[in-house]
Amino acid sequence: MKAIVTIMLKDGVLDPQGKAIGHALNNLGFAQVGEVRMGKIIELELAGTDAAQAKSEAEEMARKLLANTVIESFKVEVAG
Amino acid sequence: MKAIVTIMLKDGVLDPQGKAIGHALNNLGFAQVGEVRMGKIIELELAGTDAAQAKSEAEEMARKLLANTVIESFKVEVAG
């Protein structure tokens, strides 16, 4: 199974990387760009065939290692 | 409109960050974890209400600034 963990900074947490990207896009002429937020995506190849189990395992990995839950939120999707 | 750009290293390009995460998860006791790939996700707030236009603009931004298309592939989704 493949689990995809998406990690974003929580709303209200300053995102300097996103700000820098927004400024760079504005400077390149993309005036329509407003707020920009940047996050991480982690694709995990998991042994096993149970989608619900894979999802709960990936959530445990996100809580224990992948995300900093003080400032980041995460979501897990499982694909075939 | 909100455009979400997902950027991953192309298949065959070595992903040392993903490898490090995989090893760390294995060491934490998650023996079921195989290959891990890490990528970026960039959420752009765009002025305008035309979804097709927002998508093509975000693709242009990805080609020009956000992704390194030599080693990275990207996909764009547009949400309300």
- Cβ atoms of A74 and A11 within 8 Å: the answer is no
Q: Where are the domains of chain A?
A: 2-79
Class of domain B2-79: alpha beta
Looking at beta carbons, which residues of chain B come within 8 Å of A44?
Answer: 25, 33-34, 36
Nearest to B34 by CA among A49, A79, A10, A47: A47
Phi-psi region of B29 (alpha: psi -120 to 50; beta: other; left: phi over 0): left
Q: What pLDDT sits at residue A67?
A: 97
A13 touches chain B (CB under 8 A): no
pTM of the model: 0.93
Q: Coil, helix or strand for B63?
A: helix
Q: What pLDDT sits at residue B41?
A: 98
Q: Closest approach of chain A CAs to the CA of B12, in angstroms?
A: 15
- Cβ atoms of A9 and A39 within 8 Å: the answer is yes
A4 touches chain B (CB under 8 A): no
d(CA B55, CA B44): 11
Contacts of A57 (CB under 8 A, 6+ apart): A3, A46, B30, B32
Q: What pLDDT sits at residue B53?
A: 95
**Interface predicted TM-score (ipTM):** 0.91
Q: Once rounded to an integer, what is the mean pLDDT over residues B59-67? A: 97
Q: What pLDDT sits at residue A58?
A: 97
Record: contact A41-B46, CB cut-off 8 A: no
Six token digits for residue A19 = 């700000």
Q: Closest approach of chain A CAs to the CA of B63, in angstroms?
A: 12
Looking at beta carbons, which residues of chain B come within 8 Å of A35?
Answer: 45
Q: Closest approach of chain B CAs to the CA of A76, in angstroms?
A: 14
- Cβ atoms of B3 and B74 within 8 Å: the answer is no
Which one-letter amino acid corresponds to residue B33? V
> Tens digits of per-residue pLDDT, A24-76?
999 999 999 999 999 999 999 999 999 999 999 999 999 999 999 999 999 99
d(CA A24, CA A33): 10
Q: What pLDDT sits at residue A51?
A: 95
Residue of chain B minimizing CA distance to A66: B21
